[in-house]
Amino acid sequence: MKYPKIGLVTGLGSTVSSQFAECFKESLGLLFGVTVVTECFVDANHIIPILTNRIRVASIVLDALQSIGNPVPDLVLIPCNSVHIASPHLTQAFGDSFIPIDQAVLSMIRREHRHGRFLILGTTTTVEAGFYQEGLCRLGCEALTLPADAQAQLDEFIFRELVYGPMNPEHLQTLRELEFHFKHRLAADHVILACTELCYLVRVFSQPKSYEVDSLQALHDAGLSRLHYLMEGGLNHATRYSHIVG
């Protein structure tokens, strides 16, 4: 049986992407008996200053993925929401091999039959890109975002406290206080952790709340679903990701 080639972009956070890689390999071992993942490194110091420029972000990520050689990956995973501003370019380059993280999250929301108002907690880059808002609208849900001053506070927290680590329990308390305050103030039913640093912080020091949607878990599950399809013969039959997951 031909085994799919998996391309995983790491290096985008302090430890999040490497831990995601290890977790994904462990899941592969349990489900398929193999742990082969081709990792390519992207330095966060090169990405963070240009996050608002989707073309430059796409160029850096594409260069990293192309460095792993031929054949091109059958599955491309990038555990960083902000980088997914380059999704159109990555989809153009890799087609259905690339899984946009927002599509993975929306599939999880559909699968878990969640409805109502969703507060999006992520970087300004992710929030202003609008892909979560557009997707939630298609599902008949309402997207909520933080006021400008609180969004700036969250950016500062993510980039100065979490990306370069190390994380600690006080960081979790900071997140919970902000999350609790605005969930109630904005009357949100659910909270999308639209930053993998936030997802990892919650996983390390606690467990996700029932109202939280974990984008890192969603990407993990979507990747495994895609692999199930590929291992069942999908390597020779291209299809849309949205038909595979959800």
Q: What is the DSSP string of 138-200?
A: HTT-EEE---HHHHHHHHHIIIIIISS----HHHHHHHHHHHHHHHHHTT-SEEEE-SHHHHH
Instruction: Give, as one character, the DSSP assignment of residue 10.
Output: E
pLDDT band at 246 (very low <50, low <70, confident <90, very high): very low
Q: Please give the pLDDT value at position 13.
A: 63
How far is 65 from 73, CA to CA, in rounded Å?
8
Q: Per-residue pLDDT for 29 more than 70?
A: yes
Beta-carbon contacts of 110 under 8 Å, excluding residues fewer than 6 positions away, are: 139, 246
Cα separations in angstroms, 25 against 8, 9, 21, 175: 11, 14, 6, 29
Look-up: residue for tokens 């742990």? 35
Percentage, residues of the chain above pLDDT 70:
89
Q: Per-residue pLDDT for 192 more than 90?
A: yes
Q: Please give the pLDDT value at position 34.
A: 65
pLDDT band at 31 (very low <50, low <70, confident <90, very high): confident
Beta-carbon contacts of 181 under 8 Å, excluding residues fewer than 6 positions away, are: none
- Residue pair 13/81 in contact (Cβ under 8 Å)? The answer is no
Instruction: Give, as one character, the DSSP assignment of residue 210.
Output: T
More confident residue, 214 or 161: 214
Q: Please give the pLDDT value at position 236.
A: 42
- Residue pair 205/66 in contact (Cβ under 8 Å)? The answer is no
For the segment 149-177, the average pLDDT, to the nearest whole number, is: 92
From 21-35, 189-203, 215-229, the region with the lowest mean pLDDT: 21-35
Mean model confidence pLDDT for the chain = 85
Cα separations in angstroms, 83 against 32, 34, 100, 140: 29, 28, 10, 26
- Domains, the chain, in order of start with CATH, read 6-100+217-241 (3.40.50.1860), 103-214 (3.40.50.1860)
What pTM value is reported for the model? 0.88
